[in-house]
Chains A and B, each alone.
Chain A
Amino acid sequence: QKEVEQDPGPLSVPEGAIVSLNCTYSNSAFQYFMWYRQYSRKGPELLMYTYSSGNKEDGRFTAQVDKSSKYISLFIRDSQPSDSATYLCAMSEEDYKLSFGAGTTVTVRA
């Protein structure tokens, strides 16, 4: 069993739809939870950063962490074609060593 499991996708949604991305994990020591966006032929770019459980909102993006269920989510509201990318969840213990999910590729159709 992988330490971090991410819904594989791919996802294709119409412009303006809500995109929902999810990851589960097995390591209860994870404290830091991140979502990275990776465009084709580019490196991962940090989108959201959350410590422990709870919700965090930044513009059209909302990250949720449920440590009791070992489950994290990213929601993208009013999706745009520019949101088309691969989204990677990542998490770490206090040592900041990241464990990544395999990524979900999202396509937003104009």
Chain B
Amino acid sequence: EAGVAQSPRYKIIEKRQSVAFWCNPISGHATLYWYQQILGQGPKLLIQFQNNGVVDDSQLPKDRFSAERLKGVDSTLKIQPAKLEDSAVYLCASSLVSTIYFGEGSWLTVV
């Protein structure tokens, strides 16, 4: 069974630039999550989708972050404009019921 796919794996951008991350969840998983993991910390939930509807985006900095899940499958997370403190790993995850599976992450460095 294929896992959660993410791209790009690594990205370096200058502050105030924009960046987009893509995620393809495990086939059949209705729930998709984006987490932010800052170095030395545990992952923090940014947004949760159930099919193509948003379940929870309370921790998403909506002035600069946006996310969508088209047709209830793939998802894109965008940051515009990026700040230095956005340097982190952006983890996409998916679940069928209770078990959450993570992708390998997209590593963002903002300089």
A contact set with B: CB distance below 8 Å: 4, 6, 32, 36, 41-46, 49, 88, 90, 96-98, 100-103
Contacts and interface: CB of A to CB of B under 8 A. Distances in A.
B47 to A, nearest CB: 11
B104 A43 contact: yes
A96 B42 contact: no
Interface of B: 4, 31, 40-45, 48, 56, 91, 93, 95, 97-105, 107
A97 B40 CA distance: 21
Contacts of B41: 102-103
Contact of B42 (A41, A43, A49, A90): A90
18 contacts: A6-B42, A42-B104, A43-B4, A43-B93, A43-B103, A43-B104, A44-B43, A49-B99, A90-B42, A96-B31, A96-B95, A96-B98, A97-B45, A97-B48, A97-B56, A100-B44, A102-B40, A103-B41
Contacts of B102: 36, 43-45
A100 B98 CA distance: 15
Nearest to B91: A43
